[in-house]
Amino acid sequence: MDRPITPIEEFERALDKAGLTKEEYELIDYIRYTSVFTQPSLIKDLKRPSKPPLLSVLCQICRKIGSEMPDHFKKVIEWSIEISDHDTKWDAHLICAEALSIDKIPLSPSHGTTLFDVLVVHKELFLGFD
């Protein structure tokens, strides 16, 4: 299954309707602007506490946005389970996914490629050139 490409207009409407806090919106905006990030980089750049983990917060935000675009979010979750090594879903796949090495190996501690999970925003959601 290919990754479901997010319809940008639908995403923007869902983002507006999701009722995000200022801090939640700031996190999404930052991710969409920088495109590549790790948990420590988010904490450092956004000057946030390490608890609760910002990747968990990101999942909560994605559930809020996903509730406003349920058909697409369902497809994303199905894709998330399919690409998972353990058949589990990750709600943040609505916005981002694991970065891969040139050998198509995820950049993550569990794959022995980096100290932290490296994530990248989906291309259609990237705002860095705007």
What is residue 15's predicted lDDT score, i.e. its pLDDT?
98
Farthest CA pair distance, the chain = 40
What is residue 1's predicted lDDT score, i.e. its pLDDT?
85
How confident is residue 60, by pLDDT bands cut at 50, 70 and 90? very high
119-122 LR contacts (CB < 8 Å, sep 24+): 119/36, 119/37, 119/38, 119/55, 119/92, 120/35, 120/36, 120/37, 120/96, 121/31, 121/32, 121/34, 121/35, 121/36, 121/95, 121/96, 122/3, 122/5, 122/6, 122/95, 122/96, 122/97
Distance CA 76, CA 90 (A): 9
Q: Which two tokens stand for residue 119?
A: 């994530």
pLDDT digits (tens, 9 = 90+) for 96-119: 999 999 999 999 999 999 999 999
Q: What is the pTM of this model?
A: 0.94
Q: Give percent of the chain with pLDDT exceeding 90.
A: 95
Distance CA 16, CA 30 (A): 16
How confident is residue 16, by pLDDT bands cut at 50, 70 and 90? very high
Judge whether residue 130 has pLDDT over 80: no
**Across 35-49, average pLDDT:** 96
How confident is residue 86, by pLDDT bands cut at 50, 70 and 90? confident
**Where is average pLDDT lowest: 21-25, 36-40, 83-87?**
83-87
Report the chain's terminal Cα–Cα distance, integer Å.
30
